[in-house]
Structure 1
Amino acid sequence: MILSATLKKTALPVLIALFCVLTLTFQSCKKKSRSDLGAELFKKTQNKIFKDATPEGLAEVFKQVLETNKAKMDNPKLITAFYEKNDYDPVFVMDHIFNGDVDITASYFEKAGQHGLDPRMFKADQIKQLVTKFKDKKGIKTIDEAYHDIAELEILMANSLINYSGALQFGMVSPRKIYSRYFTATKRPDSTSMMQALNAGNLKTYLDSIQPKDPQYLMLQKALLAGGTAQGMTKEETQRYLVVNMERLRWKNKPTQNEYVIVNIPDYRLDVMENGKSILDMKVVVGEGRNMDNTTTLADYDESDKIDRPFSRETPQLNSMIHSVQVNPVWNIPQSIASKEIMVEAAKDPYYLSNKGIDVYRNGKKVEDTETIDWASAPKDKYEFKQRPSDDNSLGKIKFLFNNNSSVYLHDTPAKSGFSKTMRALSHGCVRLGDPQALAKVVFGDGPTYEKIAKAMNEDNPEPTTIGLPKKMPVYITYVTCWVDSNNTIQYRPDVYGLDNVLYGHLQKFLANTDQIAAL
Structure 2
Amino acid sequence: MTKTDKTAEAFTVDRRRFLRGAATVGLTAAVSSVASASFAQQALNDVLAAPRRGNWDDQFDARVPSSKTVATNQPVISAQTIADVQTAIGQYMDIVARGGWPEVPGQAKLQLGMSDPAVQALRRRLMVTGDLPQSAGISNAFDTYVDAAVKRFQARHGLPADGVMGQFTYAAMNVSAPARLNQLQINLQRLNELVATGGSEPRFVMVNIPAARIEAVENGSVVQRHTAVVGKIDRQTPILNSKIHEVILNPYWTAPKSIIQKDIIPLMRKDPQYLAKNKIRLYDQSGQEVAPESVDWNTDEAVKLMFRQDPGKINAMSSTKINFHNPYAVYMHDTPQKSYFNKLMRFDSSGCVRVQNIRDLDVWLLKNTPGWDRRAIESTIQSGVNTPIQLADPVPLHFVYISAWSTGGGVVQFRDDIYKLDGAAELALGSAT
Q: Place the TM-score, normalised by the shorter chain, in its bin.
A: 0.5 to 0.7
Note the C-alpha offset of 1:275.
Answer: 2.1
**1:256 matched to 2:200:** yes
The 2-side partners of 1:503 and 1:232 are apart by 13
Equivalent residue in structure 1 for 2:217, among 254, 258, 273: 273
The 2-side partners of 1:390 and 1:419 are apart by 20
Q: 1:467 is matched with which residue?
A: 389
The question of whether the paired residues in 2 share the 8 Å contact of 1:212 and 1:218 is answered with no
TM-score by length of 2: 0.58
**1:476-495 counterparts in 2 under 5 A?**
476-485=398-407, 487-495=409-417
Equivalent residue in structure 1 for 2:371, among 444, 448, 458: 448
Q: 2:94 is matched with which residue?
A: 226
The 2-side partners of 1:341 and 1:501 are apart by 31
**1:359 matched to 2:281:** yes
Q: 2:326 is matched with which residue?
A: 404
Equivalent residue in structure 1 for 2:179, among 216, 237, 242: 237
**1:393-432 counterparts in 2 under 5 A?**
393-432=315-354
Note the C-alpha offset of 1:352.
Answer: 0.9
Q: 1:389 is matched with which residue?
A: 311
TM-score by length of 1: 0.49
- Count of residue correspondences: 270
Name the aligned partner's letter for residue 240 of structure 1. N
The question of whether the paired residues in 2 share the 8 Å contact of 1:221 and 1:246 is answered with no
Q: Specify every segment of 5 or more residues in structure 2 that has no aligned partner in the other structure, as ranges.
A: 1-78, 101-128, 130-172, 427-433
The question of whether the paired residues in 2 share the 8 Å contact of 1:262 and 1:476 is answered with yes
The question of whether the paired residues in 2 share the 8 Å contact of 1:347 and 1:374 is answered with no
Name the aligned partner's letter for residue 361 of structure 1. Y
The 1-side partners of 2:291 and 2:304 are apart by 16
**1:268-417 counterparts in 2 under 5 A?**
268-289=212-233, 311=234, 313-371=235-293, 373-377=295-299, 379-417=301-339
Go from structure 1 to structure 2 and tell me whether the alpha carbon gap of 1:466 and 1:362 turns closer, same or farther (over 3 Å shift): same
The question of whether the paired residues in 2 share the 8 Å contact of 1:227 and 1:239 is answered with no
The 1-side partners of 2:341 and 2:380 are apart by 24
Name the aligned partner's letter for residue 490 of structure 1. V
The 1-side partners of 2:174 and 2:336 are apart by 35
The question of whether the paired residues in 1 share the 8 Å contact of 2:213 and 2:227 is answered with yes
Encode CA deviations 1:37-83: one digit per residue, 9 max, x unaligned.
xxxxxxxxxxxxxxxxxxxxxxxxxxxxxxxxxxxxxxxxxxxxxxx
Go from structure 1 to structure 2 and tell me whether the alpha carbon gap of 1:467 and 1:365 turns closer, same or farther (over 3 Å shift): closer
Encode CA deviations 1:245-271: one digit per residue, 9 max, x unaligned.
122233233412121111100111001
Q: CA RMSD in A?
A: 2.5
The question of whether the paired residues in 2 share the 8 Å contact of 1:217 and 1:249 is answered with no
Name the aligned partner's letter for residue 403 of structure 2. T
Encode CA deviations 1:187-235: one digit per residue, 9 max, x unaligned.
xxxxxxxxxxxxxxxxxxxxxxxx9993233323322332354632212
Structure with more helix by fraction: 1
The question of whether the paired residues in 1 share the 8 Å contact of 2:246 and 2:322 is answered with yes
The question of whether the paired residues in 1 share the 8 Å contact of 2:86 and 2:188 is answered with no
Go from structure 1 to structure 2 and tell me whether the alpha carbon gap of 1:256 and 1:349 turns closer, same or farther (over 3 Å shift): same
The question of whether the paired residues in 2 share the 8 Å contact of 1:326 and 1:464 is answered with yes
Name the aligned partner's letter for residue 452 of structure 1. A
Q: 1:214 is matched with which residue?
A: 82
The 1-side partners of 2:211 and 2:241 are apart by 18
Note the C-alpha offset of 1:485.
Answer: 3.8
Encode CA deviations 1:369-410: one digit per residue, 9 max, x unaligned.
424544123524332211111111111111111111111111
The question of whether the paired residues in 2 share the 8 Å contact of 1:394 and 1:413 is answered with yes
Q: Specify every segment of 5 or more residues in structure 1 that has no aligned partner in the other structure, as ranges.
A: 1-210, 290-310, 505-520
The question of whether the paired residues in 2 share the 8 Å contact of 1:244 and 1:503 is answered with no
The 1-side partners of 2:81 and 2:320 are apart by 39
The question of whether the paired residues in 2 share the 8 Å contact of 1:328 and 1:464 is answered with yes
**1:123-272 counterparts in 2 under 5 A?**
214-228=82-96, 229=100, 231-251=173-193, 252-272=196-216
The 2-side partners of 1:344 and 1:213 are apart by 46
The 2-side partners of 1:363 and 1:494 are apart by 43
Note the C-alpha offset of 1:363.
Answer: 3.0
The 1-side partners of 2:371 and 2:264 are apart by 38
The 1-side partners of 2:239 and 2:290 are apart by 40
Go from structure 1 to structure 2 and tell me whether the alpha carbon gap of 1:363 and 1:502 turns closer, same or farther (over 3 Å shift): farther
Encode CA deviations 1:276-323: one digit per residue, 9 max, x unaligned.
21110010000111xxxxxxxxxxxxxxxxxxxxx3x10111111111
The 2-side partners of 1:213 and 1:469 are apart by 30
**Whose Rg is larger?**
2
The question of whether the paired residues in 2 share the 8 Å contact of 1:286 and 1:426 is answered with yes
Go from structure 1 to structure 2 and tell me whether the alpha carbon gap of 1:237 and 1:502 turns closer, same or farther (over 3 Å shift): closer
Q: Give the 3-state SS of the residue equivalent to 1:449 in structure 2.
A: coil
The 1-side partners of 2:293 and 2:366 are apart by 42
Q: Give the 3-state SS of the residue equivalent to 2:229 in structure 1.
A: strand
Q: Give the 3-state SS of the residue equivalent to 1:326 in structure 2.
A: strand
The 2-side partners of 1:280 and 1:236 are apart by 34
The 2-side partners of 1:346 and 1:372 are apart by 13
The 2-side partners of 1:368 and 1:238 are apart by 55
Q: Which runs of 4+ in 1 moved over 4 A?
A: none
Note the C-alpha offset of 1:486.
Answer: 5.3
Go from structure 1 to structure 2 and tell me whether the alpha carbon gap of 1:283 and 1:392 turns closer, same or farther (over 3 Å shift): same
Q: 1:192 is matched with which residue?
A: none
The 1-side partners of 2:297 and 2:420 are apart by 36
The question of whether the paired residues in 1 share the 8 Å contact of 2:283 and 2:305 is answered with yes
Q: 1:458 is matched with which residue?
A: 382
Name the aligned partner's letter for residue 90 of structure 2. K
The 2-side partners of 1:335 and 1:213 are apart by 39
Encode CA deviations 1:347-374: one digit per residue, 9 max, x unaligned.
2111110110100112324345424544
